[in-house]
Chain A
Amino acid sequence: MSYIGNQPTTVAFLTDQFSGNGSTTAFTLSAAPANTNSILVAISGVLQDPSTYSISGTTLTFSPAPPTGTGNISVRFLGIPASGVTTTAYRTVTEFTATAGQTTFTPPSYTVGYIDVYRNGAKLGAADFTATNGTTVVLASGASSGDLIQTVSFYVSSVLNAIPATNGAVTSAYLLDGSVTQAKLGTGVAGNGPAFSASRTTNQSFSGSTWTKIQFNTENWDTANCYDPSTNYRFTPNVAGYYLITLACDMVFTGTASVAGIGINKNGSYYSYSPVFYGTMNSGLGFNGSWVVNFNGSTDYVEAMIYSNGASPSVNGTSGNLFTGTLMRSA
């Protein structure tokens, strides 16, 4: 097929398809058409008059509801309003040789307000022409035969469905899962998952030879409000993943002890009791322990535990005891 101008190209028209059930009247389109004339709607293959449906944003509403049928409602978009990036697409210079009295000239489509008009090289003022419809220029007074009328116009177009390069325009929905690499992160960027630190500033006595929960009742920080410092003294992170849990504790007792240690319980039961020292210990001992624990981010929790078989053992509240936890890796 012969043609004049640029070679035509074709694209597939966007089409949505829905299934009617005899009662549903509203259907959500994949794009918002300009109006009811911007789409072709067919039900069971029968083209519908635009007066039989309405458009509000992306909602297509029928009255009455289309009948039951699998994929029996077809919506073909004739055009989608442009959104996104506005750009000055191109500048066009067009020259005309006027005939006697000619007032109307037709340059390529232009954006209103983006056109200058020259007559024999002299730029015309705004009062000397009218260019308000994007397609024609009308001189206020007719040209003389042979006048050179030149238009310099710009056509400002939009890039369909482009994302503006403005702060906040790109959301995570536009990123491919797993596509953000370490190299794309700024220097010094760290995770911001839950982290806490709690301590105890007074002694806590406990029964000998009994694993006892330490009541760390003073929060140093608790970024996600996941540590309970007043009732259960436990860390219940609200983000699933692997956490580094640390416990530093000093215990004191009367006389000597032969077994003493610290550990953590997960969900109320033994998780790890270590370090535990065996041998003769006088008056007290300090411990440090660390563990990596997997949490489900909802119900899993850990508690700090202490043990000694010395007489009248207690947590030493004046030695800088610490119970901490921080997310190392998400699930």
Chain B
Amino acid sequence: MTLHEKIINLYPELANHDFSRGSILLQNDSDGKGDYIAKWDHPTLPRPTDEELK
């Protein structure tokens, strides 16, 4: 399951534009370390904890 899918499972109300250029940016630096949350500025939803994303 991708990081995006995990977040959607946690917060189904998130829309596509939240991830594309909105308040949430997921990033992959192509360095083998995988996806990570580069930015989380959602006005109401808290940033998921590492535990919630396992």
Interface residues of A (CB under 8 A from B): 204, 206-215, 232-233, 258-259, 261, 265, 268-270, 273-274, 276, 278, 303, 305, 307, 309
Contacts A206-B30, A214-B30, A270-B25 known; list 9 others, CB within 8 Å: A207-B3, A208-B4, A209-B20, A209-B26, A210-B2, A210-B3, A211-B25, A259-B16, A276-B21
Q: How far is the CA of A1 from the CA of B22 in the complex (A)?
A: 90
Chain A residues lying within 8 Å of B38, measured Cβ to Cβ, are 211, 269-270
0/1 interface trace, chain B 10-54, chain A, CB 8 Å (1 if under) = 000000110111000111111100010011000000000000000
Which of B4, B20, B26, B29 counts the most A-chain CB atoms under 10 A from its CB?
A: B20
Q: Distance in Å from the Cβ of A258 to the closest Cβ of chain B? A: 6
- The reply to whether B17 and A211 contact each other, CB–CB distance below 8 Å, is no
Interface residues of B (CB under 8 A from A): 2-4, 16-17, 19-21, 25-31, 35, 38-39
Q: Distance in Å from the Cβ of A246 to the closest Cβ of chain B? A: 20
Q: How far is the CA of A232 from the CA of B2 in the complex (A)?
A: 23
Chain A residues lying within 8 Å of B27, measured Cβ to Cβ, are 210-212, 265, 305
Q: How far is the CA of A212 from the CA of B39 in the complex (A)?
A: 14
Q: A309: which of B19, B25, B35, B39 is its contact (CB, 8 Å)?
A: B19
- The reply to whether B29 and A213 contact each other, CB–CB distance below 8 Å, is yes
Q: How far is the CA of A213 from the CA of B27 in the complex (A)?
A: 8
- The reply to whether A261 and B20 contact each other, CB–CB distance below 8 Å, is yes
Chain B residue with the shortest CB-CB distance to A277: B20
Q: Distance in Å from the Cβ of A241 to the closest Cβ of chain B? A: 26
